[in-house]
Structure formats: structure tokens, C-alpha cells
A and B are shown apart, each in its own frame.
Chain A
Amino acid sequence: QSALTQPASVSGSPGQSITISCTGTSSDVGSFDLVSWYQKYPGKAPRVIIHEVSKRPSGVSNRFSGSKSGNTASLTISGLQAEDEADYYCCSYVGIRSYLIFGGGTKLTVL
């Protein structure tokens, strides 16, 4: 199965909001509320910022929010800050054979 589809890059100015989409199929994103989002800096391990579509772990800024409609999940970052510049990955549970699949990743540039 191919990776979930994410835009390769997005950009925004400090203070603005951006949204990253993650499109899957009815076998993964569309059927399960087990979509999570990760922030990744070069050379560092990923960090979860959203799980179960819209839940934010303790310690994660409320500037990060998640949602889902049909086969597409979305991550919104509001009030962009320079420190948000990183790669972002979505991940979904795939019901058939019970495995997990990542999106291709989106590079966020803060202008």
C-alpha cells in the first residue's frame, strides 16, 4: 500500500495559520480514528503532536490542532513561530492486516 498523501511543502509567515492535509483511503484514514501527527527535526526522533485525530498530548502547544473528514485528515498550526519549521508526518492504522502507514511528510517553512 502506498504512503498516505501529504503536500511536499507548505510555508507561512510568523503569526499566520497553515494546514497540512493527509489523504488516505477507506481502509485507513476513512475507517479509523487512529490518525496521529509527528513533528520531526533533522537528526532528532519524531515527536507526537496529535493523536486519535484531534487529541493533543500533554505539553504540546494548543496552536496545534487536528481534524478529519472522510479519507482526509488535517493538521492546523496557528500563530506560526520560527520553531515550528520542521517536517511533519501523519500516520494511520490500516485495518487490513493491522499495520500502520505514514504519509510522505511535509516540510514546513516559516518565512
Chain B
Amino acid sequence: QVQLQESGPGLVRPSETLSLTCTVSGGSISSSYWTWVRQPAGKGLEFIGRIYSSGSSNYSPSLKRRATLSIDTSKNEFSLKLSSVTAADTAVYYCARYELGHFDYWGQGTLVTVSS
């Protein structure tokens, strides 16, 4: 059973960079797409980006300028960096596996608040 776990600071100051890591267990990260999705309070799900084990990545056009995904197959983990954050980036951030046209495994989600 594949399991994902997000980790990272729960509080980030405005204009700084949000950094999150997703650790994958129960399976290899060396295949499939690995993704980040977020949900601001009271709003819908938003795709941030996805990365393949080769390092190839795709991003939402609205976040492409600020988001960077990376992957470390030796540690079975992948990461998100979101620069120049504002209060609008406050959300629950999920990591998930994207396989065969759908998100099949998800992390539990981690709340990141942007505030001074």
C-alpha cells in the first residue's frame, strides 16, 4: 500500500518561499507522476504541478512562475517550493500520486498559513 506524508513549516512569512516535502513509502517513486494539490479554506481543489521520476515537470499556468518541483529518487521523496507567497497561498497542501489518469494515493494534507 503506497503511503504519502507531507512535511514542512506550517507558517511562512509573506514574500518568502514555502517549502514542502512529500515522503513516499510502500512503493517506489521511480515511476508515475507525483503531484501537489492545494485547497484554500472554503474553496476548491487547485492543481499546482506534477513531476515524473525523470525530473520532467508540468505546472498550472497560474502558478508556473512561482512553483518549482523537484524529486529525489534515492530518498523516495519529492518537494515543492513556492516563492513570493502571499495570504492567498494559505491552504491545505496535498501531495498525491497521479497514475493512469487519476490521483490514486494522497497524503493527509498539511496546512500552511502565510502570515507575518
Q: Which residues of A contact B (CB under 8 A)?
A: 1, 3, 33-34, 36, 38, 40, 45-48, 51-52, 57, 89, 91, 93, 97-105
- A46, B106: Cβ atoms under 8 Å? yes
Taken together as a complex, chains A and B put the C-alpha atoms of A104 and B100 apart, in Å, by 22
Taking residues whose C-beta sits less than 8 angstroms from the other chain, chain B's interface range is 20 to 34
What separation, in Å, do the CA atoms of A38 and B46 have in the docked complex?
13
Inside 8 A of A40's CB, which chain B residues have their CB? 45
From DSSP, what is the main secondary structure of chain B's interface residues?
A: strand
Give the contact stretch, choosing among B7-15, B20-28, B56-64, B76-84: B56-64
Once A102-B46, A102-B47, A104-B44 are accepted as A-B contacts, the answer to whether A91 and B61 lie under 8 Å apart by CB is no
Q: Are A99 and B100 in contact (CB under 8 A)?
A: no
Could you pull out 7 A-B pairs where Cβ atoms are within 8 angstroms? Answer: A36-B101, A36-B103, A48-B102, A48-B104, A52-B101, A100-B98, A103-B44
Residues of B94-115 contacting chain A, CB below 8 A? 94, 96, 98, 100-104, 106-109
Which 4 A/B pairs are nearest by Cβ-Cβ distance?
A51-B102, A45-B106, A36-B102, A105-B44
For chain B, residues 35 to 77, give those with C-beta under 8 angstroms from any C-beta of chain A.
35, 37, 44-47, 49-50, 58-61
**Which one, B45, B108, B109, contacts A102 given CB within 8 A?**
B45
